[in-house]
Chain A
Amino acid sequence: GQNIDQPTEMTATEGAIVQINCTYQTSGFNGLFWYQQHAGEAPTFLSYNVLDGLEEKGRFSSFLSRSKGYSYLLLKELQMKDSASYLCAVRQYGNNRLAFGKGNQVVVIP
């Protein structure tokens, strides 16, 4: 089985930087995905890590440490539209299934 943990909620100020953590336990790790989900909408794909290190995509960066079972998503220059739930998902070797965490609700305030 897989176990994925994320903090439930955080509040941050517009223009700030926020780090969203995800820890996981799984056998046969084969990639970690981050998704953004606005209220009432479907999740949208943000980033993918399979090797250790940092992947940068504009204002969003994602980091992975496989030995620690740990990832984070970094959001820079926060904007009000970044208020959303951020989901971490893990894939195992040998299948195309994703196991999702429960999501971290980020609230951006002026």
Chain B
Amino acid sequence: DVKVTQSSRYLVKRTGEKVFLECVQDMDHENMFWYRQDPGLGLRLIYFSYDVKMKEKGDIPEGYSVSREKKERFSLILESASTNQTSMYLCARSEGVHPYEQYFGPGTRLTVT
């Protein structure tokens, strides 16, 4: 059973803090993704990565950055957290072959106060 783990289920941070959200997969999959999910807006892609040290912007990258130094780990960084970044953050991975379905981690509910 493939696993995607995220470092925290719940996180509370203050405005202006630097926040790291970690995602680790236990397979040798190339593709990893970070989404945020908000009521009424659905799942929105922040960043994704096809391989180590590679990253691509998604639909809402502003205020975020990512790091992928090892294949199994993909980190989302909030350089200076703001209250509008309060959300559920979901990491996903997919194989690099058809049909490329994505498998999600349990999510991190981040609250910025």
Which residues of A line the B interface, CB within 8 A?
Answer: 31, 33, 41-45, 48, 50, 87, 89, 91, 96-103
How many Å from the CB of B65 to the closest CB on chain A?
18
Q: Is the beta-carbon distance between B107 and A31 smaller than 8 angstroms?
A: no
Interface residues on B, range: 20 to 34
Q: Which residues of A contact B40 (CB under 8 A)?
A: 102
Q: Which residues of B contact A (CB under 8 A)?
A: 31, 33, 40-45, 48, 50, 58, 90, 94, 96, 99-107
Number of residue pairs across A and B with beta carbons under 8 Å?
47
Is there an interface contact between A48 and B43, defined as CB atoms closer than 8 Å?
no
Give every chain A residue within 8 A of B96 (Cβ-Cβ).
96
**Across the two chains, which residue of chain A brings its CB closest to B45?**
A97
Interface-centre pick from B41, B58, B107 (highest chain A CB count, 10 A): B107
List residues of chain A with CB within 8 A of the CB of B94.
96
